[in-house]
Chains A and B, each alone.
Chain A
Amino acid sequence: MPTPATHDPFAAYTLAEAYDEMFDVRAHPRRPYRKLHRELMNLGPEELGRSKQKVDLSFFNQGITFTVYGRKEGTERIFPHDLLPRILSAADWDVIERGLTQRVNALNLFLKDIYHERRILSDRVIPAEAIFTCRHFRRQMCGVKVPRDAYVNVMGTDLVRLPDGKFVVLEDNLRVPSGVSYMLSSRKVMKQIFPALFRRCGVRPIEQYSQMLLSTLRSLAPEGRSDPTVVLLTPGAYNSAYFEHAYLARQMGIELVEGRDLVVHDNYVYMRTTNGLQRVDVIYRRVDDDFLDPLAFRVDSALGSSGLFSAYRAGNVTLANALGTGVADDKAVYAYVPQIIRYYLDQDPILDNVETLLMTDPLRRSHVVDHLQDFVVKAVGESGGYGMLIGPHSSQEQRQEMRARILADPRNYIAQPVLALSTAPCFVDGAIEPRHVDLRPYVLFGEKTVIVPGGLTRVALRKGSLVVNSSQGGGSKDTWVLQN
């Protein structure tokens, strides 16, 4: 066993074509990572192993888990967490912050337009069929006024860094983005594990997220409700993100309600308490559109509350996010976001999109289906890494199946080139190795736009894997944004 002093923890760290977050092309540590690098040179693998155990235990004790669907027993798992922080410079963060602020503003203007005047369609910036064929377009929302014209109140945009070092947007999550509880609890644990390093690095805080979320939600209350009652609506204890729902409700000090706790009377929403019915003003809903109100949407839903949509239409209750926001994160509509930004804001996008081929385009379609091994194909309405094909890592059968599916329903698929996601050092099986990462910052949009400096860095913990979704074997790491 080599002693820590002589041991080079990075001996096996190989750089490839992807951008590495820690090392530049000459294998020198980049500026934001220097202090961590020095720390790692001094710490032996045993010590890192001990810290890793401490982190895992802490996650276990806090019950930080997620549920994997489609399996019977033991579906509740500890969220895999990597020990080493992902570090972003102030300059990187500045671009991200400005880019996301621009994006959330444009997308909210877009949603307002789509559900009211539809200027963007009559000006032929986006073909109308791209909107009306979208599974998440909600006809019921046409003409409905939402408070502050804020449709997307919580946005979780997935960013990746390309080999040239620039961040691009991989996808927008505008419906019910999750994962923020992992960001918050992971920070809490990391502060206990690396207190000195944390202080030396000058990391910007994220702990204010829950207060920011609460004040965003309060700012969306129906008119005349000066002291609004805010609740969090969960599908219930069996939902994969229940831990997060309970966590956020507790952090904000608001009630965690289920559909059966709500009563709609005369177009007002109440919750059933032991002290009688109490009016509800703002619902931070973590239930999909389809399930919110069996009278307006899916009749078989038991997760929502009858009459909720009618109360919402009447402006007596606010739902955050608004209904129908999914039309803007449809992966085919995503392809038009740069045009959307130019159209509404008359600005160039600060953060670029990933090149996206719509399978409705016959030429591109025939090219893609013949070269599936070179592309990533995604179903437009899905999230969480379901319904996705990674060309180079796929089998002949999978490609044939995908080919048939694309040809049968071209509107449902898009193709993107295979991206070399940036890599970051991870502590895996006692050694430090590079793994692919992405970044999901959380954007709050209400009275003002707020982005806490950080986000959820997701890691593809399997060697060489590009899939970071927790349902597909991904994990997370703490994200440090430096003060300067």
Chain B
Amino acid sequence: MLSRVADSLYWMSRYFERADNCARVIDATHSLMLNRSVVGPDERWVRALTCLGMPPDGYDDDPEAAIARLAVDPGNRSSIVACVTAARENASQVREEISSEMWEQLNRLYHDVLRSEPDAMRLVASVREGAYSFYGVTETTMSHGEGWRFVQLGKFTERACAVSLLLDAYFSGTTQADDLDWIALLASCAAFDSYCKVFTADLQPNRIATFLLVHPEFPYSVRYSVERMHASLEAITGQSPTRHRVRIERVIGRLRASLAYTPVSELLAGDFHMFLHGVLEQCRALHAAVHEAYIDYPIEVAFQS
């Protein structure tokens, strides 16, 4: 498959996941805001901005402004509007590779988002709806070949990073978190119901961290995401053996091991922030390795083999 095509599929998927993630965080934070608590509203929005990778400077006290910045600000490259636009842009470059249903779904969502721009919360709702449809359509209509693997890789790389950032914001922040905050964290990962099934509604920070970080079956846990990244990479490297295979395998292997074998209690007792930071670093390293092996390899290297 052409490198450019693989790259567009990967980024289409990453941007889409980023938009979806942003919508979930806004939704959860917004409903949290409706309740009184010891934690002030400012701090919650600061936390939301932080976990979406945005420095909170320039943020004024107005929650509406924060929502607008997260959802519709075209100048903010991580806003929902910007991410959906970027996802569609990438998809339009590879319309022949994705199914027509995927294109239709993405296109419809894009127009919905533009239409509901004045009402940020309506926009959030349509993205959350649209995201489930898009994932379903992608799963069922796109052939599960190499292109689909790059779609999966993009989606789960983005998700592993996003959930790590969320955990970091809630666990490493200076803010005292209460039950409502923990509910918001779980809701940000669409995890509340699933968490209760495993641990009951007894909200304990270490259990929440365990669930979101290392649960092997929950689709939004970091470990699950990393396992899916691994599966995608195995398929990709298996189909197209490259010189960089060893490097990719080393990075993903280390990441999997650290999530599978490190007890969460130990992590929480130690430097949890550093650990999460390490996960992000390794995801970045993996992205760089894949990019260099399959997308933008120097031609001198390509002629060596």
- A residues within 8 Å of B by Cβ? 63, 236-237, 246, 249-250, 255-258, 260-261, 263, 265, 270-277
Interface flag for B294 (CB, 8 Å): yes
Given B100, B240, B303, B305, which contacts A274 in the complex, CB threshold below 8 Å? B240
Among A249, A256, A263, A272, the one with the most B-chain Cβ atoms within 10 Å of its Cβ is: A272
Closest to B301 in A: A276
Contacts of A275 on B, CB cut-off 8 Å?
1, 239-240, 242
B window 1-59: CB within 8 A of A: 1-4, 6
Interface size classification for chain B: 20 to 34
Contact bitstring B266-305, A, C-beta under 8 A = 1, else 0: 0000000000000000000000000000110101001101
A237 & B294 in contact (Cβ 8 Å cutoff): no
Closest to B103 in A: A63
Contact bitstring B77-100, A, C-beta under 8 A = 1, else 0: 000000000000000110110001
Given A236, A246, A272, which contacts B3 in the complex, CB threshold below 8 Å? A272
Give the docked Cα–Cα distance between A63 and B104 (Å): 11
B92 & A255 in contact (Cβ 8 Å cutoff): no
Give the docked Cα–Cα distance between A265 and B3 (Å): 17
Give the docked Cα–Cα distance between A261 and B242 (Å): 19
Give the docked Cα–Cα distance between A273 and B239 (Å): 12
A274 & B146 in contact (Cβ 8 Å cutoff): yes
Interface flag for B213 (CB, 8 Å): no
B95 & A237 in contact (Cβ 8 Å cutoff): yes
Would A237 and B302 be within 8 Å (CB), given that A271-B2, A272-B2 are in contact? no
Sort A-B residue pairs by CB-CB distance and give the 8 closest, nearest first. Answer: A275-B240, A274-B294, A272-B3, A277-B302, A246-B96, A274-B6, A274-B240, A274-B1
Interface flag for B66 (CB, 8 Å): no
Give the docked Cα–Cα distance between A258 and B299 (Å): 17
Contacts of B4 on A, CB cut-off 8 Å?
258, 260-261, 272
Interface flag for B248 (CB, 8 Å): no
Give the docked Cα–Cα distance between A112 and B99 (Å): 44
Contacts of A237 on B, CB cut-off 8 Å?
92-93, 95
Contacts of B146 on A, CB cut-off 8 Å?
274
Min Cβ gap A72→B in Å is 15
Closest to A266 in B: B303
Contacts of B302 on A, CB cut-off 8 Å?
270, 276-277
Give the docked Cα–Cα distance between A284 and B2 (Å): 17
A-B pairs with beta carbons under 8 Å apart, 9 shown: A236-B93, A237-B92, A237-B95, A250-B96, A258-B4, A276-B242, A276-B297, A277-B299, A277-B303
Give the docked Cα–Cα distance between A261 and B6 (Å): 12
Would A63 and B100 be within 8 Å (CB), given that A265-B299, A274-B236, A276-B305 are in contact? yes
Give the docked Cα–Cα distance between A280 and B180 (Å): 60
Given contacts A270-B299, A276-B240, 15 further A-B contacts (CB under 8 A): A63-B100, A236-B93, A250-B96, A256-B96, A272-B2, A272-B3, A272-B4, A273-B240, A274-B2, A274-B240, A274-B294, A275-B1, A275-B242, A276-B305, A277-B302
Given B3, B93, B96, B305, which contacts A273 in the complex, CB threshold below 8 Å? B3
Give the docked Cα–Cα distance between A261 and B4 (Å): 7
A273 & B2 in contact (Cβ 8 Å cutoff): yes
Contact bitstring B226-269, A, C-beta under 8 A = 1, else 0: 00000000001001101000000000000000000000000000
Given A250, A258, A273, which contacts B1 in the complex, CB threshold below 8 Å? A273
Give the docked Cα–Cα distance between A261 and B5 (Å): 9
B95 & A261 in contact (Cβ 8 Å cutoff): no
Give the docked Cα–Cα distance between A256 and B236 (Å): 21
B3 & A274 in contact (Cβ 8 Å cutoff): yes
Contacts of A273 on B, CB cut-off 8 Å?
1-3, 240
Give the docked Cα–Cα distance between A261 and B94 (Å): 13
Contacts of B236 on A, CB cut-off 8 Å?
274
Contacts of B100 on A, CB cut-off 8 Å?
63
Among A263, A270, A275, A276, the one with the most B-chain Cβ atoms within 10 Å of its Cβ is: A276
Closest to A246 in B: B96
Give the docked Cα–Cα distance between A339 and B56 (Å): 76
Give the docked Cα–Cα distance between A250 and B96 (Å): 8
Contacts of A63 on B, CB cut-off 8 Å?
100
Given B3, B297, B303, which contacts A261 in the complex, CB threshold below 8 Å? B3
Contacts of B6 on A, CB cut-off 8 Å?
274
Closest to B94 in A: A237
Give the docked Cα–Cα distance between A273 and B150 (Å): 13
B window 138-153: CB within 8 A of A: 146
Min Cβ gap B8→A in Å is 10
Among A236, A249, A250, A273, the one with the most B-chain Cβ atoms within 10 Å of its Cβ is: A273
Give the docked Cα–Cα distance between A82 and B127 (Å): 39
Give the docked Cα–Cα distance between A270 and B2 (Å): 11
Contacts of A271 on B, CB cut-off 8 Å?
2
Give the docked Cα–Cα distance between A249 and B96 (Å): 9
Contacts of A274 on B, CB cut-off 8 Å?
1-3, 6, 146, 236, 240, 294-295
Contacts of A250 on B, CB cut-off 8 Å?
96
Min Cβ gap B163→A in Å is 27
Give the docked Cα–Cα distance between A299 and B199 (Å): 65
